[in-house]
Each structure stands twice: as C-alpha cells, then as structure tokens.
Structure 1
Amino acid sequence: MPRHVAFLRGINVGRHKRIAMADLRALLTGLGYTDVRTHLNSGNAVLTGDDATPAEHAEQIETAIAADLGLDVRCVVLTADELRAIVDGHPFPDVATNGSRMMAHILATAPDPALLAEHDPVGLDPDNARLGDRVIYQWCPDGVLAAPPVGGFAEKHLRVAVTARNWNTMTKLVELL
C-alpha cells in the first residue's frame, strides 16, 4: 500500500480548530490508514493507505474530521513520490540557507493552465518564487510575513486550495516516509 502525506490547513494556529495530534492519529487509524506518524502540532501526517487518489484521501479525511471532531478543516494530500519530487525540485538551494524562510505552497490540485496563464503567482515575487508541480516555491529572505502572498494569490485566482509549509517541515516529512 502506498505512502501519502496529509497536510491539514489552519489547525492549531489560534484558539479555533484545535486538534491534538494523538486525536488526529487515532482518527486516521480509524479510517484504515496504517503506519500513521504526525510531525509537529500543525497537522502534518505521514500514512499508508489504499490506492485512492490524493483528492479522494483528502476528501475522506476532511469528512471524518467534520463528522468526528466537528471541524471544517481543509486537507491537501500528496503521494510520497510527489513530496519527494517537490523536495528534490528545490529551485533555490544555493541561496535559501534558512529552512524556516523557504516555503512550499502546496496546491490541492494542479492549476488550470488557462487560469495560470492569466494569473501567474510567480509574478508577485519573480526573484524568489518558482512554480513546480502542485507547488509554488518561495524563498523569503526577509521573513515569511514580509514576503508577497503568492499562496493566497494562487488560491484566489487559480481557484485551488493552498497550504504552506516551511522547508524544515518538508524535509522532515520526507525523512518520515
């Protein structure tokens, strides 16, 4: 059975949408996933599941969180190969020296090419952003809060869900696979 990585969006950031990682592991195990491991308290889970598509896994997890925990939480799922390809495709390895300032904006699905041609998120930060498969890479030399909001732009204009993780998290999740 293949490995996947689930990214829950916007949990444990403030007082709302609180999910203990033990509860998340129990929920995922209850759905039939095995070898479930979480990383940090921000909704990152590595798991083994059936051959469903990432979108099908995401929908199953979102539905279970709503039913069992009463929370509306967006989930983005990548296959193990997709995660490895994102990490291997790092476009700024020589300049992005601080993993907490290197971001991967993970797209729930590949964007529509016509929308992408009309609304290229890289144009907001052309020196520090690059588009990959289901990801927008962004080096934020002055910090994440000072960087142009390419993820939010992509979500609004490309009509895809986006969740971001820093490079330290991305490389750790590859290790956990």
Structure 2
Amino acid sequence: MTKTTKTTETAATTKTTYAALLRGINVGGNKKVPMAELRQVLDGLGHEDVQTYLQSGNAVFATAREETPEALARELEAAMEAHFGFRVPCLVVDGAHLRAVAEACPFPAAELEGKQLHATFCSEQPADSRFASIDAPAHLPEEYRVGDRVIYLYAPNGLGRSKLAEALAKPAVVKGLDVTTRNWNTVVKLVDLTRD
C-alpha cells in the first residue's frame, strides 16, 4: 500500500508544464482557431491542466510523458491539421525555458511597456552568421539581442512600425527555423501560467 502511494506521488511530481505557441492563427479572418477547440485538441492528446491565453494561439498544458518539446510540437501540429483542416506551425517550450528567457532579458523590461519589448522564440539556436546583413546602428533606437533560442527586440514605437522587426523576419535570418513572436506582456503571463 505504501509503495503504491509513493508511486502515485512520484508520477505526480514528474509532470512538466509547457507552453504551446501557435503561429499565424486568427489573423484577418484566416486560419480561425477558437481557443475552446484548441483546448479540446490538447485534452484529446492526453494533456492535463490545459489553459489558453488570448486569441493569438497561446496554450499551457501539463504532461507526464517523457517527450521532447519538438516531438510535442509535431504531435500538436498533426492533431490540429486533422481537426481544423489546415497546418498551424507550433513551438512548444517548457516553463523552465520561459523563465530563463524572462530572467535573461537584456533590456529593462520593468521600465518598458509590453508593446515595446518582444521575444521571438526559435526552434533552434540561430547562428550569429544569420544576422550578418543587419545594420544594427541604422535601426537605432530599436535594438535586438540574441539569447538562448530567442531574439529579444526593443521597438519603442511598437512592432507594427518596426523596421528592425522586418529585417529580423527576412529569410536570411529565419529560413529553416520555426519562429513566433510574443510581446513582453504575453511572455510574463506565460511564465506565470507555467509555474509548477
């Protein structure tokens, strides 16, 4: 009896909380993904404690399965295509990575508005050579820094007017990578939602 109780407790402590970051949904009436249905898809994959945040494709879930974030992302992409009939690129990151991204922010996040600071999450670490064509001084006061599988962008006038954001989205920088961008308010909320 005691052994069974310990096993249950051990299983409960091995759950990992992840954030799924979907790209390109619910924009201009294209690729509509209601958040209630996204939660159903994640539930259907056997994940627990599923929550969504905003309509732009942010979901949090817990799982005890020992799979890589990449494998979880591919599984979610396949399930979404089966459910909705179109492909939705997904990045899955664990809560520890989200916290590390927030803690390593090279810009004074607490002093900035959420719309001024963004994090572009990358499926793998972008090589320094990808940024060779970007003339950083020409974009000031906008700035970027590369972290661990993330590109931080400070855009004081917001992302919509950012010329540096355009440069960072060019194929020379992102070709072959799965990338998706979130403003800092969303990053902070996802950090909070993925705390164990």
Shared topology, TM-score over 0.5? yes
CA contact (8 A) 2:115 2:185 kept: yes
- Could you report, residue by residue, the CA deviation over 1:114-164 in whole angstroms, capped at 9, with x for unpaired residues? xx3253476545751000011000010022122212541367555211100
Q: CA RMSD in A?
A: 2.1
Alignment match, 1:59 = 74
TM-score normalized with structure 2 length = 0.81
Alignment match, 1:34 = 48
Residues 1:143 and 2:155 aligned together:
no
Unaligned regions of 5+ residues in structure 2, if any?
1-14
Which one of the candidate residues 115, 125, 135 is aligned to 1:100?
115
Residues 1:119 and 2:136 aligned together:
no
Q: Structure 1 CA distance, aligned partners of 2:114 and 2:30? A: 27
Change (3 A) 1:123 1:35: farther
Alignment match, 1:23 = 37
Unaligned regions of 5+ residues in structure 1, if any?
none
Residues 1:44 and 2:62 aligned together:
no
TM-score normalized with structure 1 length = 0.89
SS of alignment partner, residue 160 of structure 1: coil
> How many residues get paired?
174
Q: Larger deviation: 15-24 or 118-127? A: 118-127
Structure 1 residue ranges, 4+ long, deviating more than 6 angstroms after superposition: none
**Percent identity, aligned pairs only?**
37
CA contact (8 A) 1:122 1:131 kept: no
Alignment match, 1:83 = 98
